[in-house]
Amino acid sequence: MTRKTMVPALLLTAALLIAASIAWGADSSKSSFLSGVHKKNNVTCADCHGKSLAVDDSETALNKNCRGCHGGFEELAAKTKEHINPHKSHLGDTNCTACHKGHVASKAYCNYCHSFAMKIPAMGTEQESSDKKWVQESAPGKKELKSTRVESADVVVIGAGGSGYVASITAHDAGAKVILLEKMPITGGNSMLAAGGINAARTRYQERLGMHDDPAEMVKETMKGGRDKNDPELVKVLAYKSADAVDFLVSLGADMTDLVRSGGVAVDRTHRPVGGAAVGPHLIKVYRDNAAKRNIDVRVNSEVVQILSDGKGRVTGVQVKGKHSGVYTINAKAVIDTAGGFAANNELVGFYKPQFKETASSNQPGATGEGMFLAEKIGAKLIDMEQIQIHPTMGGDTKVLVSETVRGSGAILVNHAGKRFVNELTTRDKASAAILAQPEKSAFLVLGEGIRKSNVQIDGYIALGLVQEADSVAGLAAKMGVPADVLTATVVAYNKAFEAKKDPEFQRQDIPRPVDGPKYYAIWVKPGRHHTMGGVKINTEAQVIGKDGKPIAGFYAAGEVTGGVHGWNRLGGNAITDTVVFGRIAGSNAASFIKNEK
C-alpha cells in the first residue's frame, strides 16, 4: 500500500481517537436521557441548556450552567478527596464538559494520557435510554461536505496549541478578525505538555547573569543536533528572533526569568518560570488569558475537515465539522495551519517508522496529523515525515515525560548495573539510543535533595508515584534493584567530577549540582516517541510551499505541523521557540497579506 492510498484510512483512524458527538432531540421535557444525580434530581433540559436548548460547539452555556450549579474549579478542587486533583492540574481552567456529561458517565480527560483510577462523585451510569432521539453521529473524517451555514473571517487558524494562540494574538493585534479552531474539547495541544522551557540566545536575562550567548552558536548547535538536515535559513530565523520571542512572551505576562541547560547545548539557554515550573501550562494560561482579553473567537470541538482553495493557487477558507453544528464553511482571506504533529497516531507513526509503532507516546491525544494532509490535499509539500523523535526519559511504563531539565539540573542516568553510561546532556537521539542499547532498554534518573529542590516539576513526579526515595544511596539502590556498591561508587565519582568541574568519564559540559542528601531519589525511565520533525514545508516568511516550489497564496503554517526547522532531531527547548517565532511570523504576515490584497 502506498502512503497516498493509506492516508485516508489513517485519517479515519486518527479521527476515531476523538469521541463521536451526540445529536440531540429538542424535547426539553425529557429527563430520561440523563445520568447519575441529574436523573435522580429530575433535572430538565432547560436547567442545563437554557430556554433555547441550543448547544454551540464550545458548549458555552452548558459550562456556564455547570459552574453556576456545582461551582468553579477552585471551589471544586477544595472539595476533591482524590490524591490526584483533576480540578487543579496542568490542564488549567478547561471546559467542564471535557470530562463531565449530563447524559452519560463522566470520564476524566486526564486518562487520555494517564491511568488514574478516579472515583468521580456522581459520575452516573452509561446511557440507559433506548430512545432514538439520541443517536451517535458518524465519526469525523466522513466526506460530508455540504455546509449548513457560511461565516467569514480575515484569518482562520487551525489548531489552538502554542503556535495557534501566538499566531491568533499576533494577527488580531495587527487588525485582523481571527477565528481559532480546535478539534479537541480543550485548547493547549502539545504545548500544554511542554515541560522544559524556551531556548533563546542573547536575551536580557542571560545578560543580567553575565552570559553573552550568541545566536550564531544557537544556529550551529541546532544544525548539529538536527544532523545538518535542517533548513539553515529557518534555523537562522529561529535563533536570531529567539530573544524577541522571549520578550513577546514577557509582554503577554509570562515569567521566563529562570535559566537552565538542555541537551546538546553548551550554555544555559533554556528560559523557564522561576523555580523550574513546567513552561507549557504556564504559557497556555497566559495565551488563554490574552485571547480572552482580546475577545478572540476560540472554538473547541471544531475540527477542520477541508482547507478550501480557488483552484488557482490561493486558499479561500475552511470547512469545519462542529460537534453540534455539523459541517459549515468559514470564508477567510488567509489560513494559518498550526494543527501540530502526529506522534499520538500509532498507525501513522507505524507507517513512517514501523519500529516506533508500539512505543509509548508523550503526546496529547489530538496529535494525529490531519493538518499536514489537509495542507497536502491543496498542493502543499510535505518533508521529512519519517523523522520521528524518541525522548529518552518517559516515566517507566507511563506516558508521562520526565523533563530534560531534570538532567539539566544535575541528575544522572544510570543503568540497571548501577553505572552511568552516557553524557546526560547529549542530544535526545543519542541519549535514547544509549538507553535502548542497555539489556533492559530502560534506565534510572538518580538525583539528590539539592537537585530536587531546584526543579519543582520533580514534586509532581513524586505525586504521580514515579519516584523512589531513600535516606542513603545504598537504600536507594535496594529499591532500584541495582548493586549498592556500584551505585555508591557511581555517585561518588560524579560528585568528584562536580568538585573538579570536569567529567573525565563522559565529558558532561555542565554539572550544576552534586547528587547529595539528606534524601536520594530515582525515577525509572524509558524512551518514548515525543516529536515529529517532518511536516508542511514553509519558508522564512512562514508561507506554505507547494509541490511546485512556490508559496501558496494566503496560506501560512507554524509549529510542529511544519518540517525543516529541526532536521532529523530536535533539541530540547527549541519546540517552544519554534511555536513563538514562527507563530508570530505567520500571524503578522497573514494580517499583512490581507491588507495588501484590499
Check pLDDT > 50 for residue 137. no
Check pLDDT > 70 for residue 351. yes
CB-based contact 447:434 (threshold 8 Å): no
What is the arithmetic mean of pLDDT over 409-434? 95
CB-based contact 318:509 (threshold 8 Å): no
What is the arithmetic mean of pLDDT over 560-575? 96
C-alpha cell recorded at residue 408: 539539566
Alpha carbons 483 and 427: distance in angstroms, whole number: 28
Q: Are strands 388-395 and 520-532 parallel, antiparallel or unpaired?
A: antiparallel
Query: Shortest CA distance to 570 belongs to which of 195, 167, 160, 199?
Result: 199
- Identify the sign of the CA torsion 95, 97, 100, 106: negative
Q: What are phi and psi of 264, to 5 degrees?
A: 80, 10
Would you state the pLDDT for residue 12? 39
Using pLDDT thresholds of 50, 70 and 90, give the confidence band for residue 124. Answer: low
Would you state the pLDDT for residue 114? 82
Query: Taking each helix axis from N to C terminus, what angle separates 574-597 and 162-173, rounded to the nearest 10 degrees?
Result: 30
Active site amino acids: 428
Would you state the pLDDT for residue 24? 35
Question: What share of the chain has pLDDT > 70, as a percent?
Answer: 90
CA distance to 70, 101, 131, 147, 178, per residue, from 127 (Å): 22, 10, 10, 30, 38
Using pLDDT thresholds of 50, 70 and 90, give the confidence band for residue 554. Answer: very high
Would you state the pLDDT for residue 556? 98
C-alpha cell recorded at residue 6: 493509506
Alpha carbons 556 and 172: distance in angstroms, whole number: 15
Would you state the pLDDT for residue 371? 97
Check pLDDT > 70 for residue 13. no
Would you state the pLDDT for residue 398? 87
Q: What are phi and psi of 326, to 5 degrees?
A: 80, -160
Check pLDDT > 70 for residue 489. yes
- Identify the sign of the CA torsion 114, 462, 432, 396: negative
Check pLDDT > 80 for residue 438. yes
Q: What are phi and psi of 193, to 5 degrees?
A: -95, -5
**b/e string for 186-202 if b means 16 or more Cβ within 10 A?**
bbbbbbbbbbbbbbbbb
Residues sharing a CB contact under 8 Å with residue 47, sequence separation 6 or more, in sequence order: 65
- Least confident range from 100-114, 210-224, 378-392: namely 100-114
CB-based contact 27:133 (threshold 8 Å): yes
Q: Are strands 551-557 and 543-545 parallel, antiparallel or unpaired?
A: antiparallel
Question: pTM for this structure?
Answer: 0.84
Q: Which residues pair with 364 in a beta bridge?
A: none
Report the length, in residues, of the chain: 598
Check pLDDT > 90 for residue 202. yes
The distance in angstroms from the start CA to the end CA of the chain is: 46
Alpha carbons 353 and 505: distance in angstroms, whole number: 33
Q: Which residues pair with 556 in a beta bridge?
A: 336, 543
Residues sharing a CB contact under 8 Å with residue 99, sequence separation 6 or more, in sequence order: 86, 106, 107, 108, 109, 120
Which range in 58-67, 115-124, 323-332 is most confidently predicted, on average pLDDT? 323-332
Q: What is the pLDDT of residues 446-472, one digit of tens each?
A: 999 999 999 988 998 998 899 999 999
Q: What is the pLDDT of residues 17-54, one digit of tens each?
A: 333 333 333 344 444 566 667 777 778 888 888 877 78
CA distance to 203, 441, 581, per residue, from 396 (Å): 36, 11, 33
**b/e string for 523-550 if b means 16 or more Cβ within 10 A?**
bbbbbbbbbbbbbbbbbeebbbbbeeee
Check whether the bond before 518 is cis (ω within 30° of 0): yes
Would you state the pLDDT for residue 123? 55
Beta carbons within 10 angstroms of residue 287's beta carbon:
29
Find cell 533554556 and name the residue: 270
| More confidently predicted of 555 and 139 | 555
Mean pLDDT of the chain: 88
Of the CA atoms within 13 Å of residue 134, those in its CB half-sphere come to 16
Check pLDDT > 90 for residue 225. yes
Q: What is the pLDDT of residues 282-322, one digit of tens each?
A: 999 999 999 999 999 999 999 999 999 998 889 999 999 99
